[in-house]
Homo-oligomer: A and B are copies of this chain.
Amino acid sequence: MKIVINRDQLMNSIQDVMKAISSKPTIQVLSGMKIEATNEEVKLTGSDSDITIESIIPKEEDGIVHIHDVTPGKIVVQAKFLPDIIKKLPDDTVEIESDDDLNILIRSGQAEFKLNGQDPEEYPQLPLLETENSFHIQIDLLKTLIRQTNFAVSTSETRPVLTGVHFKLENNQLELVATDSHRLASRQIAMDEDTSQIEFKNIVIPGKSLGELNKILDESQESIQISVSDNQILFRTKHLFFLSRLLDGNYPETSRLIPDQSKTEVQVNAKDLMQTIDRASLLAKDNRNNIVKLMTQDQHKIEISSNSPEIGTAEEVLQTNSISGEDLKISFNAKYMIDALRAIDADEVKISFTGAMRPFIIEPIDDAEHILQLITPVRTY
């Protein structure tokens, strides 16, 4: 194999594919990156067996030549040093050549690297995803959906299925739900295209996969194809294949966790509330639980406070837009609230409480987006 390729283009692809390569792979050959050259394109593949990423560099695109010379073939290169080597090469183009003895030569300007390669025949074949469950979504929107839910997945392996985000497609509605059992984040959208022929209810994508996918995808109004099979999901754009395994197990029925009535409702500016809670939690962070208290006051005010006996107390009164219903004293994890407010990303939010011991809901006041964040309070009063 031999390619002469544009360095920046190669570098971008390498950085994407690196996200699937583990420093402690289960089989040795997965510590490498597979490079396959044909007369039409160069394809890079990385995999940690949970996630597989393929990035394709076409020979030419929009009149710009990316690959200047090619002798078809394939090789597996040690991934550990590859990004640094390519990044620091002196010239705009890179030549990569491999021989039958798996020797790899990387050349750019006067710089020459000789690396020991690995046998591409040992590289596992990607499982072919056979499915008719396929639909499209705008990349920007997918990134937003991930951002609004993925932070709430569980980081504990006690219930593995909770470490993923639950995807449900039904009646042309796509719903994402994540919960670590202390809080829950959900977002629903109506599909642009007709997906009435497709339905899936128990698809759980590992949070880690979604996190990496979100990093790789640039903000774009182009669409991404999503294909779902029994145990895998494939995200596919023009030059990228992102394949992730799905989590086993039944995702819990979460809809019954969400209270359908409230006793106290507070409408408040999201940014003001976030900053106030951030300040109040400064002293609370030290004792690990990061608990702040919220107390309704007269004249549409709430008091946010925290107390760390050895250090001191913080308190702040915040003017809300409105408070209706019963008086309330409630305690919760400040980080959960800040995460939720950040995910909602609205100017004004509505918080619906059902007493001090029941989960409460945070939603944008203008709920065109069908986003809902739920937090379970902490018993302190």
Contact = CB atoms under 8 A, between A and B. Distances in A.
Interface of A: 78, 80-81, 84-85, 88-90, 104, 110-116, 275-276, 278-279, 282-283, 286, 310-318
A136 to B, nearest CB: 41
Contacts of A111: 276, 279, 314-316
A89 B313 contact: no
B116 A310 contact: yes
Contact of A116 (B78, B112, B311): B311
A17 B313 CA distance: 24
Contacts of A312: 104, 113-116
A298 to B, nearest CB: 15
Nearest to A318: B110
Given A89-B279, A279-B89, A114 B84 contact: no
Contacts of A318: 110
Contact of A112 (B78, B115, B316): B316
Copies of this chain present: 2
Nearest to A109: B316
A225 to B, nearest CB: 37
A314 B116 CA distance: 12
Contact of A81 (B78, B89, B113, B311): B311
A185 to B, nearest CB: 25
A278 B111 CA distance: 11
Given A111-B276, A111-B315, 15 more contacts: A78-B311, A80-B286, A81-B282, A81-B286, A81-B311, A85-B279, A88-B275, A90-B279, A104-B312, A110-B317, A112-B314, A113-B313, A114-B314, A115-B312, A116-B310
13 contacts: A80-B286, A81-B286, A84-B282, A85-B282, A88-B278, A88-B279, A88-B282, A90-B275, A90-B279, A111-B276, A111-B315, A112-B314, A115-B311
B275 A316 contact: no
A355 to B, nearest CB: 27
A293 to B, nearest CB: 14
Interface hub of A113, A314, A317 (most chain B Cβ within 10 A): A113
Interface hub of A81, A88, A279 (most chain B Cβ within 10 A): A279
A77 to B, nearest CB: 10
A316 B90 CA distance: 11
A77 B182 CA distance: 35
Nearest to A303: B110
A276 B315 CA distance: 57
A85 to B, nearest CB: 6
A274 B312 CA distance: 52
A152 to B, nearest CB: 24
A87 to B, nearest CB: 10
Nearest first, the 5 closest Cβ-Cβ pairs linking A and B are A115-B312, A111-B316, A114-B313, A114-B312, A113-B314
Contacts of A282: 81, 84-85, 88, 113
A38 to B, nearest CB: 26
A278 B87 CA distance: 11
A33 to B, nearest CB: 14
A90 B80 CA distance: 46
A214 B55 CA distance: 45
